[in-house]
Every structure is written in C-alpha cells, then in structure tokens.
Amino acid sequence: MHIEFLVEEPSAEAALRNIVPKIVGKDATFDVHPFQGRDDLEKQLPKRLKGYSQWLPADWRIVILVDKDDDECHQLKNRLEAIARNANLITKSSVPAGAAFQVMNRLAIEELEAWFLGDVEAIRKAYPRISASLTHKAKYRNPDAVRGGTKEALHRELNRAGYHPSGVPPIDTARKISAHMDPERNMSKSFQVFRDGLRELIRMNGCSPLQSPR
C-alpha cells in the first residue's frame, strides 16, 4: 500500500515524516506533499484530487490533514468531503464502517501543536531544559482543549525554558519533537483519531476501493 499525504504547511510534512513510520511500520510506503497554508491547500485541492482520480492505483490512499484553527469542525470537514466527492473519489466518511475508501480527511484540533503537547515526554527529550512539571499540568491532559491556542502554549513553554527567544522555528521544532513521539502514549484525541485511521487503512490493504473488505 502507498499513502499520499496532503498537508497545509512544511512543518506538518516534517512531523509526518517522523510519525507515520512509527504507525504504519513497513506495511506501507508514503509521501507527504505540503502546501503554503490552508488557503493554498483548499484552492489547489479540487484540481489535485481530480488529477489523482484519473490514475489512482487500487492500493493507493490519500490522507488530507489540516489544522482546525478557528473553523467549526463539521463545516471544515464537510468542505473537504465535498471537494473529494466532486473529484469522484470515495471518502471514509461517505461509506459504511469497514467499507473501502480512497480519501481520508483528518483535522488536527486545533493545531498540529496539540499533537506535540499530547506527548510531553517527546517535548522534553527534544528540549531537555523543559521542566518535568509540564507532565503534570492539568491543562495538557486534554491538549486539544488548550485555551488560547496550542501553538502559543508550546511557544510559551519553550521560551520559558530559554529556547528560541527570538522566535520558534516551526519546521525545526516539528522535526525535533516528532522524532521522539510515541503514537501509543499521545494524549491528543485528534492524534488518536489520525493514528487509528491510518491503521484502518493498513488493515484494508489489498482491497479495491469499490469493494468491501472480506
């Protein structure tokens, strides 16, 4: 099986290149295609998916990952679903559980940094001066619900520990933290949904997208 990831920015690409192999192992190959922000992704996505629909092999899948940011979840998900349907591609959300599909839309809620905050141990391994007390902060037990923005929260913790006082480099930070992430211990619900969705893709390896798995 091969998985094509479409993500909204290079920092997400950097993270996925470290995270995905830990989830899929040797059961799939993959590539990651970053865009220049969500607006660019949504603008180019219709043409991109229509192109895929002309030649997509039966054992290829497409995963679209975007940050929720300030959007309402269902509205954003519905927009992505509609773009895929208009390209004549089958989405995970449009078929019964267990049926094969070609496209899976996933949201990082509210930002990719929620996934990093969901694995405090990985943050501390990447940035050893981060206080061990971060592990016990109640607000990080549900990182998807951190108020004021997960990106801002992560940057505050890094700055407090003396890292990147002149500005946090998103790609380098994503690469460093994701290198230490363990998919099994992550506290972010949106990460868990992403992880479990990839595993479902792998379980369906070999199924035609127009057939139900045996």
Which pLDDT score, from 0 to 100, does residue 214 have? Answer: 37
- The percentage of residues in the chain with a pLDDT greater than 70, rounded to a whole number, is 93
Q: Is 72 helix (H, G, I), strand (E, B) or coil?
A: coil
Domain boundaries defined on the chain: 2-112+188-203, 113-178
Entry pTM: 0.91
Whether the Cβ atoms of residue 64 and residue 6 lie closer than 8 Å to each other? yes
Which pLDDT score, from 0 to 100, does residue 145 have? Answer: 86
C-alpha to C-alpha distance for 115 and 140, rounded to whole angstroms: 11
Per the model's pLDDT, the better-predicted residue between 139 and 72 turns out to be 139
Over residues 27-41, the mean pLDDT reads: 94
Per the model's pLDDT, the better-predicted residue between 109 and 201 turns out to be 201
Lowest mean pLDDT among 13-22, 26-35, 64-73: 64-73
| Residue recorded with tokens 């592990």 | 135
**DSSP class per residue in 22-38:** HHHTTS-EEEEEE-SSH
- The percentage of residues in the chain with a pLDDT greater than 90, rounded to a whole number, is 65
C-alpha to C-alpha distance for 190 and 196, rounded to whole angstroms: 10
pLDDT over 90 (residue 76): no
H or E element in which residue 120 lies: helix 120-126
C-alpha to C-alpha distance for 185 and 118, rounded to whole angstroms: 8
Asked if the 2-112+188-203 domain carries CATH number 3.40.50, the reply is yes
Whether the Cβ atoms of residue 196 and residue 35 lie closer than 8 Å to each other? no
C-alpha to C-alpha distance for 93 and 99, rounded to whole angstroms: 10
C-alpha to C-alpha distance for 165 and 47, rounded to whole angstroms: 41
pLDDT tens digits for range 99-141? 889 999 998 877 899 999 999 999 999 999 998 888 788 878 8
Other Cβ atoms within 10 Å of 198 Cβ, number: 24
Lowest mean pLDDT among 38-52, 67-81, 112-126, 167-181: 67-81
Whether the Cβ atoms of residue 4 and residue 62 lie closer than 8 Å to each other? yes
State both tokens at 48.
């991109």
Whether the Cβ atoms of residue 95 and residue 37 lie closer than 8 Å to each other? no
